[in-house]
Chains A and B, each alone.
Chain A
Amino acid sequence: MEPVLRINNLQVTYYTDAGRARALDGVSLTLNAGEKLGLVGESGSGKSTMALAMMHMIKPPGRIEEGQVIVGDTDLTTLTKEEMLKARLEKITYIPQGAMNSLNPVMRIGAQMVDAIKAHYKSPSKAEMAEMSMDSLESVDLDRSVFKMYPHELSGGMKQRVCIAIGILLKPQVIIADEPTSALDVVTQRQVMETIDRVQETLGAAIILIGHDMGLMAQFVDKVAVMYTGRLMELSTVREMFTNPQHPYAQALISSLPSLDNKGVFQGIPGLAPALLRLPSGCAFHPRCQHTTEICTTMLPRLEQMEGGRMVACHLYTEQV
């Protein structure tokens, strides 16, 4: 199958007074149509930076240094500013964590959908735009009357659905969902995830789900990518990730999930994630890793393909190969 999203060696740097912080360091990914990828990692590991970089929304002092984000056959990084405005929502879309605050409180939902359509298509009629918007609302299980409502008249789950409806308004090929269920209760979480699942299937789009909620990931995604200090540490299918993680960081992350067997005991990862301005030499995880060897402190491990197609960036495995 032809991949709809290819990210090649994406690098983002923030130029601060204290020095350069590499927020995203050579990330590469491929996603096929209909595939669901979960992006996990601690806060500051580069998940959101990656979403912003894909949307071409890194703002100064940040900069995309190099790399490509190819959706279909368009390389988004080569587009002009105007072309990129058009590409948002049409090719690649971002669904924010929208329960509380992602909708303009003084505009009707309809107006906030229509202005998005207007920005992309040349002079469609009012009726057409309203029809498109209401269809989109219907596809996320909202009533057509929501079109005429204001955000404060909706519940948290409904607002999140509206955000999804706006996101899929122009039938994009790639959907980035940034913690779409945080701040929602579990029942609503499930409904929202089912909605995302269904619209994605209808569109045949690839989806990147960003989040901390491993339980949600386990249920929803096909593949999981673990990020640490702006790098991919491991990328494997969801089953392999949860049953047999390879990278020591992924292992630590999975084993720190609470379970009923050892109730009351919390396993964490010793130490703190390093500041991007003062990354440890070699593998950035080595100060917290249990398997650190000589080479880990000096050489950066490359993301290598292992058997079964999973990708791991760790010297533990490169040495054996």
Chain B
Amino acid sequence: MSIRKVIERLLFLVVVIWTASTITFFIPRISKRNPIRERFGQLARTGGFSPDELEIIIESYSQKFGLDKPLWEQYADYIGGIARLDLGVSLYQYPKTVLELIQEAIPWTLGLLVVSTILSFIIGNSLGAVAAWPRAPRWLRSIATPFILFMGVPPVLLAVFLLFFVAFRLKALPLGGAYSIGVIPDQSLEFYLDVLRHQLLPALALIFGTVGGWVLSMRGMGVTIQGEDYVLFAEHKGLSGFTIFRDYYLRNALLPQVTGFALALGNMVTSGIVIEQLFGLPGIGTVLYNAIKANDYLVIYGVVLFITIAIATLMVMVELLYPLIDPRIRE
């Protein structure tokens, strides 16, 4: 792929981010709700300011957040802020910045969602590839079948089942939380194992809920590929079954699956937000959930923008990596 193409893609990414941030900027302005007024109104009801004081406070805070400026100036500030990675300040956890909140949450989300998506991709595609390979042993080919059954069940429902049976009834794994209560996070192996135990159920729910899709699509691809002339000709060349499986069959069947992987990461975010909430994990999903509950606008917009940027970046990355696995689109 030429440098030009890479630059083109990166410029496109910038445009996507700009569009997303513009939309996140204007939507709250359409609603006419004033987060500062709402916040201090709430405080006033519980704390008891006089209305005059309230107006003064709101005005000074509006000034502080730049809400008294004309719209275009606010917009310029906002875009400038994004360029400097400044997403603003949480209204409820003041003076924590939105970026800080995201930074704290991101390892948990990355750990769970990305690892689950990758595992699901590997398991599903291996099973699907083997299921479609006529020379694989029968028992190996049939392993894939039960996973297809889980395909229709949303990960959230699976999570509830797992929570009830494995954690609540059998007490085999913890019911929730990122790590055991009372444990202080450090770099010890013990701590990591504890974290792993807590991540197991949510990960299982996400993996089981998505593996069937990979199995089905890969098996479909596999059936098509094994009928291709080049697979037959590979056999005529006297290659071993394993070489044909790896270089001729799997390599080609995987191509469309890689595109699917980028899309799956996007879908995973949707499932992940609810799953994180269900298991009480302090990830991005939980940050977003709490922000919505508390009307913490800047955090909501920050997280939404962050997710948009993350997915758009992943897509561009897959697009840039794709020529490495398929020479036909290198030009």
In the complex, what's the smallest C-beta–C-beta distance from B74 to chain A, in angstroms? Answer: 51
Contact check, B247 vs A96: say whether CB atoms are below 8 A apart: no
A134 at the interface (CB under 8 A from B): no
Contact check, A116 vs B237: say whether CB atoms are below 8 A apart: yes
B52 at the interface (CB under 8 A from A): no
Specify which of A84, A89, A93, A102 is in contact with B229 (CB 8 Å cutoff).
A102
Contact check, A85 vs B251: say whether CB atoms are below 8 A apart: no
Specify which of B239, B251, B325 is in contact with A116 (CB 8 Å cutoff).
B239
Interface string of A102-116 (1 = CB under 8 A from B): 111111100000011
B161 at the interface (CB under 8 A from A): no
Give complex CA distance A67, B232 in Å: 24
B64 at the interface (CB under 8 A from A): no
- A119 and B243 contact, Cβ closer than 8 Å, known pairs A105-B252, A152-B327: yes
Contact check, A119 vs B229: say whether CB atoms are below 8 A apart: no
B228 at the interface (CB under 8 A from A): yes
In the assembled complex, which residues on chain A have CB atoms less than 8 Å from the CB atom of B228? 101
- A55 and B247 contact, Cβ closer than 8 Å, known pairs A104-B230, A152-B328: no
In the complex, what's the smallest C-beta–C-beta distance from B110 to chain A, in angstroms? Answer: 30
Give complex CA distance A55, B240 in Å: 15
In the complex, what's the smallest C-beta–C-beta distance from A208 to chain B, in angstroms? Answer: 14
Which positions 240-272 of chain B face chain A at CB distance < 8 Å?
240, 243, 247-248, 251-252, 255
A88 at the interface (CB under 8 A from B): yes
In the complex, what's the smallest C-beta–C-beta distance from B322 to chain A, in angstroms? Answer: 12
In the assembled complex, which residues on chain A have CB atoms less than 8 Å from the CB atom of B243? 115, 119
Interface string of B318-330 (1 = CB under 8 A from A): 0000000111100
Contact check, A88 vs B247: say whether CB atoms are below 8 A apart: no
In the assembled complex, which residues on chain A have CB atoms less than 8 Å from the CB atom of B237? 88-89, 115-116, 119, 166
B232, B255, B325: residue with the most chain A Cβ atoms closer than 10 Å: B232
Interface string of A77-93 (1 = CB under 8 A from B): 00000001111111001
Contact check, B326 vs A94: say whether CB atoms are below 8 A apart: no
Contact check, A102 vs B239: say whether CB atoms are below 8 A apart: no
In the complex, what's the smallest C-beta–C-beta distance from B264 to chain A, in angstroms? Answer: 22
Specify which of A84, A87, A100, A150 is in contact with B328 (CB 8 Å cutoff).
A150
In the assembled complex, which residues on chain A have CB atoms less than 8 Å from the CB atom of B255? 106
Give complex CA distance A96, B235 in Å: 11
Contact check, A120 vs B252: say whether CB atoms are below 8 A apart: no
Contact check, A104 vs B247: say whether CB atoms are below 8 A apart: yes
**Chain B binding surface SS class:** helix
- A119 and B247 contact, Cβ closer than 8 Å, known pairs A96-B233, A98-B233: no
A57 at the interface (CB under 8 A from B): yes
A235 at the interface (CB under 8 A from B): no
Contact check, B229 vs A115: say whether CB atoms are below 8 A apart: no
A163 at the interface (CB under 8 A from B): yes
Specify which of B230, B232, B238, B251 is in contact with A119 (CB 8 Å cutoff).
B238
- A100 and B238 contact, Cβ closer than 8 Å, known pairs A106-B251, A106-B252: no
In the assembled complex, which residues on chain B have CB atoms less than 8 Å from the CB atom of A84? 238
In the assembled complex, which residues on chain B have CB atoms less than 8 Å from the CB atom of A86? 238
In the assembled complex, which residues on chain A have CB atoms less than 8 Å from the CB atom of B236? 55, 57, 88-89, 93-94, 96
In the assembled complex, which residues on chain A have CB atoms less than 8 Å from the CB atom of B20? none
Contact check, B232 vs A96: say whether CB atoms are below 8 A apart: yes
In the assembled complex, which residues on chain A have CB atoms less than 8 Å from the CB atom of B240? 85, 119
Give complex CA distance A84, B239 in Å: 11
- A103 and B238 contact, Cβ closer than 8 Å, known pairs A115-B247, A152-B327: no
- A101 and B230 contact, Cβ closer than 8 Å, known pairs A106-B251, A106-B255: yes
In the assembled complex, which residues on chain B have CB atoms less than 8 Å from the CB atom of A59? 134
Specify which of A85, A98, A106 is in contact with B238 (CB 8 Å cutoff).
A85
Contact check, A104 vs B252: say whether CB atoms are below 8 A apart: yes
Contact check, A163 vs B247: say whether CB atoms are below 8 A apart: no
Give complex CA distance A55, B252 in Å: 25
Query: Which residues does A use to contact B, with CB under 8 Å?
Result: 55, 57, 59, 84-90, 93-94, 96-98, 100-108, 115-116, 119-120, 150, 152, 163, 166
What would 11 A/B residue contacts be, using CB atoms closer than 8 Å?
A: A55-B236, A93-B236, A98-B233, A101-B229, A103-B230, A103-B233, A104-B230, A104-B248, A106-B326, A106-B327, A116-B237
Which 8 A-B pairs give the minimum distances between C-beta atoms?
A88-B238, A101-B229, A94-B236, A116-B237, A85-B238, A102-B229, A102-B233, A150-B327
Query: Which residues does B use to contact A, with CB under 8 Å?
Result: 134, 228-230, 232-240, 243, 247-248, 251-252, 255, 325-328
Instruction: Taking A105-B328, A150-B328 as given, write out 7 further A-B residue pairs in contact, using a Cβ cutoff of 8 Å, ordered by the A residue number.
Output: A87-B238, A93-B236, A94-B236, A102-B232, A106-B251, A108-B327, A115-B239
